[in-house]
Structure 1
């Protein structure tokens, strides 16, 4: 009785592949706005707005770190690579075709916390392959050789879902960074003795805990996560060879007799994903098409369903780094179903299945600029 179901799933995947265009490696078909019914004048207004909305912060990301996180956090030393970014750049894809681009889209720059989306995708592949039996499993049995990570009763209650959603409240120090040193709250004298919250009950954006997810996912795969990402995602979607995913100077481990660098899930202290706009667009396009690429279901639909579902602790955040739009509060101009992958700087992948739009915008302002840009892009599209 399983064969009809398998056949139905294959037919569904193949139908999506036949319906949509998938760019081959090294090329992405472009289309004039007019050929797709897009208002060229309004589209140009959107591009002009993106260019005019460049983030005024320094291009040297080490300077930005020193004047933001470094100005208010202890343990702020940079321990991974940083970059000097390009000017604002990006591209707009509508119905699978590139209809606009601006700036140096080939520039390989830090993408900061979009690194988290790459990380949770690789964790999702471990779930997909059965290396992790369930997102509801406790994490500590998967990290037994490094028992210090989950030695306390509090930490032993943490499940994979908690790490994926940034609700673990893991307590400890990793790569020389205490959990409390990232975005600390309250009086400095109280930072090291912060109150603990039951895992799953409180959301807290925290790069130390994201880096913990990277480490334990590396234990599960038993090989470097960039290798997994390259083999399972980046090569199949035709990404370039220019991207790099870094860890820290001190985040090397020994696994099966080999030295492996545990990667970073962001650029807070350096490291993370360095990538160009075109490769970001391919990654976003994979999720615009529900994890399917040219007849292959690269990322399971069940994982994507969970990734784009918020919880009571944080309704507008799914798995890291899936930013959701319930009630259209985060992005009033966008549909409620729209999703963004976001990183500091500001780096954006905007995924809008309702309008069949993919937008990559890099180094735009941190205020309402994204919402305004989305509004201008959608205003250029033909009426539905």
Structure 2
């Protein structure tokens, strides 16, 4: 072989070696992993399931993508690969991703006042999109659940007096702080974003915008997203995706908003999602808020929330153990659906065991 042909051959081999894997209609599969580390992961994620007491870790689905290939998948309970699972608050991160497409179309800016698109916020004209994305509206919201239902803003919004128009219910709250100054987790903030999106893209596009803008380009064909009686998507809680489809969102985020040859989300939007909110006061063991995503950052002397995972890990998290973890440096996307009720499931424990079983790099 001549020197010229040899160089061309080596170049082709190099390009092939660095070719990216992208899912088509189905995920391509990578090498299967076996051994003690996998057994340790499964013993934690899939213990004997007690459906009567609902105690302990109760995983419905666990799926691992490495470098764009499906390398692990297991289901339990009634959940299968074809089940659109309730994501709960992962819906918030999904709405942020949908908004990122609209942002890339130049339809709004992060510092725009939300009242420009949602007039019901006329009593709070200083709230910006960045504030809502940081859960920093300043509205006096109480995100309590089953343990304090009588004081819970979110229970009232989802199930009682606010359920017909959740954004309007949220807009009626008084302020406790100036917008953008303090973090207070709020499902109401996320539903205000969903209401503003209606004017951002126009009412004619709104009903199918998440599908046209995000789901269909990624090959997601079976997503369900409930709306309230006003026709606004319940961005806080009610999106349903299969584990395989949710993993596509994770791969999009892992690759900085790029899908194949298309930059679906602007890079500055991804950077905003993954930048800690400057007004957040760190709490030990608590994930750090970014732009409707959760970050594994060590801030203000606190340790990383998930100390056995890399600092670049971030996640979309939902009630009762729903999780989409993205670890770009390890080329890993992990989907975990669950039905946990007693708080025994721990993010760090699952991530530690997944990394030991599946990371390409040797874990210390």
For normalisation by structure 1, the TM-score amounts to 0.72
Deviation at 1:290, TM superposition (A): 1.1
In 1, Cα distance between equivalents of 2:222 and 2:53: 24
The partner residue of 1:355 within 330, 337, 349 is 330
Aligned residue pairs, count:
303
Q: Is the Cα–Cα contact under 8 Å of residues 50 and 364 in structure 1 kept in the other structure? A: no
User: 2:154 is matched with which residue?
Assistant: 182
- Assess, with a 3 A threshold, how the Cα gap between structure 1 residues 40 and 24 changes in structure 2: closer, same or farther: farther
Matched, 1:48 2:43: yes
User: 2:165 is matched with which residue?
Assistant: none
Matched, 1:265 2:245: no
Question: Alignment partner of 2:100: what SS?
Answer: helix
Matches within 5 A, 1:152-171: 152=123, 155-170=124-139
In 1, Cα distance between equivalents of 2:236 and 2:256: 24
For each residue in 1:6-38, what CA deviation from the matched residue of structure 2 results, as whole angstroms up to 9, or x when unmatched?
xxxxxxxxx99963100102x1111223xxxx5
Matched, 1:20 2:1: no
- Assess, with a 3 A threshold, how the Cα gap between structure 1 residues 336 and 225 changes in structure 2: closer, same or farther: farther
Deviation at 1:58, TM superposition (A): 7.8
Deviation at 1:142, TM superposition (A): 2.5
Q: Is the Cα–Cα contact under 8 Å of residues 158 and 170 in structure 1 kept in the other structure? A: no
In 1, Cα distance between equivalents of 2:17 and 2:223: 26
Q: Is the Cα–Cα contact under 8 Å of residues 90 and 317 in structure 2 kept in the other structure? A: yes
For each residue in 1:328-382, what CA deviation from the matched residue of structure 2 results, as whole angstroms up to 9, or x when unmatched?
5211111111001101121101100111111101106444532111111111234
User: 1:100 is matched with which residue?
Assistant: 72
For each residue in 1:102-137, what CA deviation from the matched residue of structure 2 results, as whole angstroms up to 9, or x when unmatched?
1123221210011111111222222211111x2012
For each residue in 1:304-344, what CA deviation from the matched residue of structure 2 results, as whole angstroms up to 9, or x when unmatched?
00011012322611111x10011252111111110011011
The partner residue of 1:206 within 180, 183, 186 is 186
In 1, Cα distance between equivalents of 2:354 and 2:256: 22
In 1, Cα distance between equivalents of 2:135 and 2:50: 27
In 2, Cα distance between equivalents of 1:356 and 1:182: 35
User: 1:308 is matched with which residue?
Assistant: 274
User: 2:295 is matched with which residue?
Assistant: 324
- For structure 1, the 5+ residue unaligned runs are 1-14, 60-85, 173-178, 185-191, 253-260
User: 1:62 is matched with which residue?
Assistant: none
User: 1:75 is matched with which residue?
Assistant: none
Matched, 1:230 2:216: no
Matched, 1:139 2:114: yes
User: 2:361 is matched with which residue?
Assistant: 383
In 2, Cα distance between equivalents of 1:286 and 1:17: 21
- Assess, with a 3 A threshold, how the Cα gap between structure 1 residues 17 and 291 changes in structure 2: closer, same or farther: farther
Deviation at 1:157, TM superposition (A): 0.9
Matched, 1:150 2:127: no
